Amino acid sequence: MGENHLTYFKIENFKRFDSFEMENLGQFNLLVGDNNVGKTSVLEGLLFDEKTYEWLVKLTNAFILRKIFPSQSFKISDISSILSKIGAWENILKDSTKPLECSFSLKGKSSKKEIGFSPIEFDLVNKTDNDFIINQFIDTSDGQLLRIFSNSEHINTVSLSQRYLSQAKKSFNLLANNTGYSEQLVKKYAQNVNPDKTIRKAFDNIIRILIPNLEETRLHSNFNSESIGIVLLEDDKIYPITRFGDGVVKLARIIIGILSCGEDKRIMIDEIENGIHFSRLKDFWKTVITLCKQFDVQLFATTHSLECQRYFVEALSELGEEYQKDARNISLLENAKGEVQSVTFDFEQFEFALSIGANTRGGQR
């Protein structure tokens, strides 16, 4: 488990949560819980970044991918227009009069660190520039936090300052459940897989879990656009990867996501088992876990499936103690007040709980 991996995480005033925290995190974390308990929201919360503009870009892109925010593209310049829409912040904050705050600890640092942004008025400096109204924001004294919220009903158009947007990067950390094939996936394949023969061979070996007769993958022009092409043994044709189903696309997204997750070294995968046949789940888990280990990436994945939990344990049992010591099952439980709390099982506790049929999938408390 790397020094930059999270051991503790807390987020406040985010979506359905007044406050939610997780302790004793490992490198491989499987989150379970009832429908609508907030598993996906936890993954979105884990997109936090110490740079506020990065945080906003990651959140906005995640909401675009999940169809919460409407957009036809993933351009950073779209974010300002999205955030200006009435009700946009209600998708981020539980209470728009309070700050969004995050506390976390890293393995290499014993103390907790707090970051966030505050719901105060905009400092409006309206300028006409190509018929757009540009509003400058107030920085806090330490230069780290960007105060961006407004309770003023009369503000209809806002724009993120270009000096922040120019530094921001698009996130590939969160793999949403309803996200399939996209131009972004092809772009990341072109950037992180295709140029390096060794990485491309490793990518192909993993895809063979689901396409045993794969010869190779390659960039391919298809209907005047680039796509990820599949070449099969004893077949001269090149097929688009989408021909082979959602499971193959999802596995490709996970591999590329691990290679593209950025400096924070975190990847979040919603409903990780979807699209993967149960007979492939153990090998699938072993592949994802070993790849995260190889590239020092911390994994957070959600599931509803007891079968997926069991194959998670089976894969870890075969991989050995080096992997088991950094594996966690985190159950999300909702109490009578609607508050969500987490219970963390280490590998031995989780394995024992499954063996005696104890509830490890969260629910009501």
Residue 362 pLDDT grade (very low, low, confident, very high; cuts 50, 70, 90):
low
Instruction: Report the number of distinct structural domains present in the chain.
Output: 2
Whether 105 and 160 share a structural domain: yes
Residue 361 pLDDT grade (very low, low, confident, very high; cuts 50, 70, 90):
low
357 — phi, psi (to 5°)? 75, 20
Tell me what pLDDT residue 192 has: 86
Is the pLDDT score of 287 beyond 60?
yes
The span from the CA of 249 to the CA of 263, in Å, is 24
Residue 73 pLDDT grade (very low, low, confident, very high; cuts 50, 70, 90):
low
Is the pLDDT score of 277 beyond 80?
yes
Whether 56 and 147 share a structural domain: yes
Residues of the chain above pLDDT 90, percent: 38
Q: Residue 26: inside a domain, yes or no?
A: no
Q: Residue 134: inside a domain, yes or no?
A: yes
Residue with the bigger pLDDT between 99 and 210: it is: 210
Structure tokens at 85: 């829409």
134 — phi, psi (to 5°)? -105, 130
Tell me what pLDDT residue 275 has: 84
Whether 69 and 161 share a structural domain: yes
Cβ burial, residue 99 (10 Å; 0-12/13-18/19+): middle
Whether 58 and 83 share a structural domain: yes
Which secondary structure element, helix H or strand E, spans residue 292, and what is its range?
Answer: helix 281-294
- Cβ contacts of 97 within 8 Å, gap of 6 or more: 119, 151
Q: Residue 270: inside a domain, yes or no?
A: no
Whether 128 and 67 share a structural domain: yes
- Cβ contacts of 60 within 8 Å, gap of 6 or more: 69, 79, 82, 83
Q: Which of 216, 233, 260 is the last residue of a domain?
A: 260
Cα distances from 171 to residues 95, 116, 258, in angstroms, run 25, 19, 12
Domain span at residue 141 reads: 47-165
Whether 100 and 159 share a structural domain: yes
Q: Residue 16: inside a domain, yes or no?
A: no
Q: Residue 31: inside a domain, yes or no?
A: no
Pairing of strands 113-117, 127-129: unpaired
Residue 317 pLDDT grade (very low, low, confident, very high; cuts 50, 70, 90):
very high
